Amino acid sequence: MLMESQFWISLLQIIWIDILLSGDNAVVIALACRSLPPRQKRWGIVLGAGAAIVLRALFATFVVYLLNVPFLKIVGGLLLLWIAVKLIIPEGEAGQGHTEGGSNLWSAIRTIVIADAVMSLDNVIAIAAAAHGSVVLLVLGLLISIPLIIFGSTLILRALERLPILISAGAALLGYIAGELLVSDPSLHHWVETEAAYLHRVAPWVGAILVVMVGHAIARRMSAQRRRNAGKEAGGTAPTAASSSSGS
C-alpha cells in the first residue's frame, strides 16, 4: 500500500484538508486555555489538540451515519452556541478571582472536548471522503495534523494575550459555524432548499452576532452583580470596624 502513488496522494489531500479545517479547533483550544497559568497552558494545548484529533478520527469512522441522523446537527449547533457564549464570559470576569470558564486545566479541556465534538461532526466529511474508506489513511492523516493544530493554537493564544478583542472574534467564529450546522440538519434540508435557501447565508451571521451580543450582555450583568455584592460587603463591614474603634 505504501508503494502506491494513490496512497500518498490521498494522504497529502487529508493533511491539506486538515490544515484548512484545524483553524476552528485551534481557536477553541486557544480561547479555552487563555486563563490558565503558563505551565498549564502548554498541557491544555497538547491535551486539547490530542482530544480534537481523537474525536475527528472517531467521528470520521461513523460520519456517514451520524450526519444523516435527524436533529443531531440542531442539537450540536445549539450546544456550540452555548460554548461560544461561555468562552466570551471570562473576558468580563478577568481579575475577579473566579474559577469559572477555563481557569483550571480540566475545565478548559472539558470545554475543548465538547466544542471539538460538535465541530468534528461537520469537519470530518471532507477528510473521510479523501480517505476513500481507508482507516489507515484516515488515522495517519489525522495523527500528522496534531502538531499543526498545536502550532496554530500556540500562535492564536499569543495573539489573544496581546489583543483581547480577538476573543470576541473567535467566539463569533464558533457562532458562525453553529449557524451553519443548524440549517444543514437533515430534518431541515428539504425545507431550507425549497423554501428558505437564504438561510444558508443568513444563519451563520446571525449565530456570530448573537453569540457576541449575548456573551457580552451576560459578562456585563455578572460584572455589575459582583460590584453590587462587593458594595454590600463593604457597607456591612464598615459599621463593624467603626464600632470596634469607638469601643476601644
What integer best gives the mean pLDDT of the chain? Answer: 74
52 inside domain: yes
Domain that holds residue 72: 5-237
In tens, the pLDDT along 86-122 reads 878 754 444 444 333 455 778 877 877 777 777 666 5
- For residue 210, pLDDT beyond 90: yes
* Predicted local confidence at residue 205, as pLDDT: 95
Give the 3-state secondary structure of residue 1.
coil
Tell me the per-residue pLDDT of 57-97, one tens digit each, with 9 for 90 and over: 777 667 656 666 888 788 878 888 887 888 787 544 444 44
Domain-located, residue 142: yes
Length of the chain: 248
The full DSSP string for 160-226 is HHH-THHHHHHHHHHHHHHHHHHHT-HHHHHHHHHH-TTHHHHHHHHHHHHHHHHHHHHHHHHHHHH
Q: Residue 188: inside a domain, yes or no?
A: yes
- Asked, for residue 244, whether it belongs to a domain, the answer is no
179 part of a folded domain? yes
Contact 131, 63 (CB under 8 A): no
The dihedral built from the CA positions of residue 26, 101, 185 and 212, taken in this order, carries a sign that is negative
> Over the stretch 156-201, which tens digit does the pLDDT of each residue have?
667 777 877 877 887 888 888 888 888 888 888 888 888 888 888 9
Mean pLDDT confidence for 235-241: 56
Instruction: Give the count of domains, the chain.
Output: 1
pLDDT of residue 209: 94
202 within a domain of the structure (yes/no) = yes
pTM: 0.61
Listed in sequence order, the residues at least 6 apart from 24 whose beta carbon sits closer than 8 Å to its beta carbon are: 119, 123, 173, 174, 177
